[in-house]
Amino acid sequence: MHYFTKLDSGIDVAPLVAALDAHPELWDANGFRKNGQGTPHARMSDIWVRYNDVAPYAARGDYAGFNDAHVPIWYPAYDVLRAALDPLLFPLMQRVSGEMLGGILITRIPAGEAIAPHVDRGWHVEYYDKFYLSLRSAPGAIFQCGDEFINPEPGDLYHFDNRLEHWVKNESDSDRMTLIVCIRADRRRWSPC
């Protein structure tokens, strides 16, 4: 495959999935990605774990510059999910010789919904590599780029270049959940499984 690089499988994601199921109030606490005009993410839900501090932008009602260079902060969801997240995040940082931990999101695409085709752009995309850890997935939850696609099983970890057009269709009968971790990493120091 050219677009997807499988790094691992069989990672124990059950504690994080259980924590997410126990805390439904965490979903969509920040609507920036889901509710923006023309967003490809309108039909999914997310949890912001780490990113730029949204508070000063929300206070002034102007989000200009929100995606510019920044040092990310931990969002309140991290405090709730920390015990389940840390055993996933920091081994991944070590696995890819991470130099800086960037944005962290958890996404949920309901059965029958999708993320529309799009290309991610901006400083964050250019500065970090993006890693996807499947938390919940079933046959028919397809992540596609070009003519390639994956339907990962829970515990599968992939690297993906999100500067290429990509989309997700969840034609399964259950939610598709993914932990997205952005890491500044030197690709010369990590390799696929």
Which domains does the chain carry? 4-175 (2.60.120.330)
Residues of the chain short of pLDDT 50, as ranges, are none
pTM to 2 decimal places: 0.92
- Provide the pLDDT for residue 191: 67
CB distance 131 to 92 below 8 Å = yes
DSSP state of 50: E
Sequence-separated (6 or more) residues with CB below 8 Å from residue 137? 151, 152, 153, 154, 172, 176, 177, 178
Q: Which residue has the tokens 């490809």?
A: 40
- Provide the pLDDT for residue 34: 66
- Compute, in degrees rounded to 10, the torsion defined by CA atoms 177, 7, 91, 151: 10
- Provide the pLDDT for residue 156: 97
- Provide the pLDDT for residue 32: 67
Per-state percent for the chain, helix, strand, coil, to nearest 5:
25, 35, 40
